[in-house]
Amino acid sequence: MSESAEWTKGAAAISYQRCACCAHVQYFRRDFCAACGSLALTDHAASGEGTIYATSLVCRAATPETRAHVPYNIVLVDMREGFRMMAHGDQDLAIGDVVSARFVPFAGATVPYFERTR
């Protein structure tokens, strides 16, 4: 199985896996399909486009590194490719907003950040 570029590894990209047997897509990297157990998974780069499923404003920092960013918005995004992911986003985002990802520095890392596209 090949590993594609991923923001968790320092690249400005979001990747996901698709099952060759049942077409299930999953964001959290596994060695098997969470739906059918198949090992026939392929890696794909996501478009970075999706729709806001939920938002949560963080007002208290969990670590000293994140304190400088408070308050910040954590969003759950239903991605166009069919998986759901958690990321940072604009504070005025609402459920149902169409968004796209860019990449910003946060607490020493580069993380996906969603903003409204229309």
Pairing of strands 72-79, 84-89: antiparallel
Asked if 22 interacts with Zn ion (CB under 5 A), we say: yes
Exactly one of 5, 8, 10, 21 binds Zn ion (CB under 5 A); which one?
A: 21
Q: Which of residues 32-51 bind Zn ion (CB under 5 A)?
A: 33, 35-36, 38
- Residue 5 binding Zn ion, by CB under 5 A: no
Q: Write the DSSP assignment of the chain as a string of letters.
A: -PPPP-GGGT-S--EEEEETTT--EESS--SS-TTT--S-EEEEE--SEEEEEEEEEE-S-SSHHHHTT-SEEEEEEEETTS-EEEEEE-TT--TT-EEEEEEEEETTEEEEEEEE--
> CB of residue 31 vs Zn ion: minimum separation in angstroms?
12
- Choose the stretch contacting Zn ion; rule: CB under 5 A; options: 29-37, 54-62, 80-88, 94-102: 29-37
Residue nearer to Zn ion on the CB measure, 39 or 54: 39
Q: Which of 15, 16, 19, 85 binds Zn ion (CB under 5 A)?
A: 19
Least distance from C-beta 4 to Zn ion, angstroms? 19
- The residue assigned the tokens 């739906």 is 35
Q: Count the residues of the shown chain that bind Zn ion, applying the rule CB under 5 A.
A: 8
Beta bridge partners of 110: 105
Which positions touch Zn ion (CB under 5 A)?
Answer: 19, 21-22, 24, 33, 35-36, 38
